[in-house]
Structure 1
Amino acid sequence: MARLYVRPGLNPDEPDAPAAVLVVDPDGTPGERALDRLGSYCYEGDGVFYLVQTDGWFEPSLEGDRLAISVAVYPVALEQVGVDPADFPDRSTVDPRAHLVLRAGTTVDPVLPAWFDEGLAVFTAGPGTPLEDLLASEDDWPIILAPPPEEIQDGDDE
């Protein structure tokens, strides 16, 4: 099962700012396996992999002290890594052409600053791997997902 964390200290430029980290199991749910595979489709840079907003994003929602994150991906990106979009019938509220491949949640301080623009770091690791080990490793590069695009481009991504 995917694990979602919100904690400070991940951004060296802003060590006190909270950041979101999602840990997925490469042998876990279909959504976790899809995110693991998307790593091979991302762009590499500065010790991370980037999934561009034109391919997918994360959708945060905060209700009281409960933070929920949904990951939306267009069918083209899923197909590029051998994942059938039909396996994910739920759709994004931002753009219904994008499929929701994973949802995760955690309890947070409801007075968090607006960190949602910073992105979501997604690590792949087995369920017994502590977050601190992932963060300390120079070999485990996260996938960085941006928040939803402000404007959705017209086009046929189905």
Structure 2
Amino acid sequence: MARLHIRTGVNPDEPDEPVVTLRVDPEGSPGERAVARLGDHCYEGDGVLFLSQTDGWAEHALDGCLLTVDIAVRPSALGHTGADLRAFPGRSAVDPEAVLVLRAETEADPELYARAAPATAVFTAPPDHELDAGVHWPMLLAPPPEE
């Protein structure tokens, strides 16, 4: 099961800045597997992987203390992961052509969330595996594109 958190210390350039982080299991649900395989189609930065915003993004919604993050991916990018598009009937509220591949929820402090970076950091690792920021490069997902 994907795990969602808001934590500091993720961005070495801004260690006090909260970041919405999502941990996906590469052997988990179809959505987790699809998100994990998106990392193969990213471009590398300084210790991070960037998914082009034209390929996919993270949509955030905060309702009281419940933070919901939806990962939306364009069908062409999702097809490159080998995922079966029929397994993902949901569509993005921002762009109905984009497929919703994963939803994660967590209780979140609204004040902490208000200070969070706009990008979502996705780490891929089995649930029993300890993450090491120096070894596990996060995939950064931008917010949805603006029309």
Query: What is the TM-score of this pair, normalised by structure 1?
Result: 0.87
Structure 1 residues 51-78: Cα deviation after superposition (integer angstroms, max 9, x where no partner)? 1110000000001111110000000001
Paired-residue identity, %: 56
Structure 1 segments unaligned to the other structure (5+ residues): 152-158
Matched residue count: 146
Partner of 2:78 in structure 1?
78
| 13-22 or 65-74, larger mean C-alpha shift | 13-22
Pick from 117, 141, 158: which aligns with 2:137? 141
Q: 2: distance between equivalents of 1:78 and 1:57?
A: 12
Partner of 1:95 in structure 2?
95
Spell out structure 1 runs of 4+ moving beyond 6 A.
none
- Structure label with greater radius of gyration: 1
Counterpart of 1:115 in structure 2: which amino acid?
A
* Cα drift, residue 11 of structure 1: 2.1
Q: 1: distance between equivalents of 2:51 and 2:122?
A: 10
* Cα drift, residue 87 of structure 1: 1.1
Query: What is the TM-score of this pair, normalised by structure 2?
Result: 0.93
Secondary structure in structure 2 of the residue aligned to 1:69: strand
Q: 2: distance between equivalents of 1:47 and 1:14?
A: 14
Structure 2 segments unaligned to the other structure (5+ residues): none
Q: What is the alpha-carbon root mean square deviation over aligned residues?
A: 1.3
